[in-house]
Amino acid sequence: MRPAAILTLILLAGCTSAPRPRWARDCDPLSAEKHFARVWQLTSSGTHAEAYFSPDGRRLILQAVRTGDPADQIYILDLATGDSKRVSTGDGKCTCAWFLPDGRFVYSSTHHHAKEPPPKPDRSKGYVWPLYRTFDLFMADPSDGSLHQLTTSDGYDAETTLGPDGRTLVLTSHRDNDVSLYTMQIDGTGMRRVTMRHGYAGGAVFTPNGSWLVYRAFYPRNDAEKEEFERLLRERTLHPVNLELYRCRPAGSEETAITQNGKVNFAPYPLRDGKRVIFTSDLDAVRRGQYGMYVVGMDGTGLERITHHDGFDGFPCFSADGKYLVWISDRNAKRPHELNVFMAEWKE
């Protein structure tokens, strides 16, 4: 076993549980939400997304648009005190931050291309996700304030997470004429393509033992879908319909669909047992914008609905010990498009 793997296993085995946020607002889970023993609302304004635990469970790293931000920026939230600090530059647009075991973190940003964020995509012909070509991956070191650029391709480099060995990153990149999964080392070396099918694969996370990647993907099923996908890709956008969850080995073999429901399924996160995954889906939506969280076996069996809020619940993440879940929701929102960070004490 490599030294980095041993370090990570020690950190995870000895991790302290996330502290109960006594400063946060207590919320009652809905009666059907039987897996939530307690719920806290951790933020109260702004538009938040993708909150992830530090290895010791004591902090969250997240993206948010708050007062004065031109677009999404990266913040760290201390769960013991409630203190929140912006840790990105304040310029451009940021996304997809993730902690390393030693306190450094990675995230994607456009700040090195322009102070202003890139323009939003034209949605007059329908809802699309932007694949900004100016997103590159950066490594930040809070100990000395340094920021090191890891990718330089003329394409979308984002949706990055870290493997349990503490050294291997998995990211989504628009290169090689596809939007595929790649792995690389934390120093930016060893870029290697993982998924090979024509289409989009993204938002990958390793299972706790590192044996699988779970992710969302859209692979065109006919000529019409292929033509539409390629047209949008030339415009650097993606139409997020029929996203299914997949799994594959970190080297790309044994790719298998986990869901096959024809809906929008995304943001998978493995449970600690490595046999199940929690994810976001519009599986039971009756109107646009309704998303809930579900758990399903890695083999696609045992689907269970977790949240029952009449709105948005998504981007789930477990603490390393599996005792706490954080996610993004518009529960208790006071204005349109307000999304806040919530945390629950998990029970089986």
- Whether 14 shows a pLDDT value over 60: the answer reads no
More confident: 155 or 298: 298
Note the pLDDT tens digit of each residue in 273-308: 999 999 999 999 998 889 999 999 999 999 999 999
**Amino acid 3: pLDDT:** 39
**Amino acid 119: pLDDT:** 93
Confidence class for position 16, pLDDT limits 50, 70, 90: low
Convert the chain into a string of H (helix), E (strand) and C (coil): CCHHHHHHHHHHHCCCCCCCCCCCEEECCCCCCCCEEEEEECCCCCEEEEEEECCCCCEEEEEEECCCCCCCEEEEEECCCCCEEECCCCCCCEEEEEECCCCCEEEEECCCCCCCCCCCCCCCCCCCEECCCCCEEEEEECCCCEEEECCCCCCCEEEEEECCCCCEEEEEEEECCEEEEEEEECCCCCCEECCCCCCEEEEEEECCCCCCEEEEEECCCCHHHHHHHHHHHHCCEECCCCEEEEEECCCCCCCEECCCCCCEEEEEEECCCCCEEEEEECCCCCCCCCEEEEEEECCCCCCEECCCCCCEEEEEEECCCCCEEEEEECCCCCCCCCEEEEEEEECC
Note the pLDDT tens digit of each residue in 229-246: 999 999 999 998 899 999
Indicate the range of 18-22, 46-50, 74-78, 197-201 predicted with least confidence: 18-22
Mean local confidence (pLDDT), 92-97: 97
Residue ranges per structural domain of the chain: 3-346
Among 3.40.50.720, 2.40.50.140, 3.90.1150.10, 2.120.10.30, what is the CATH number of 3-346?
2.120.10.30
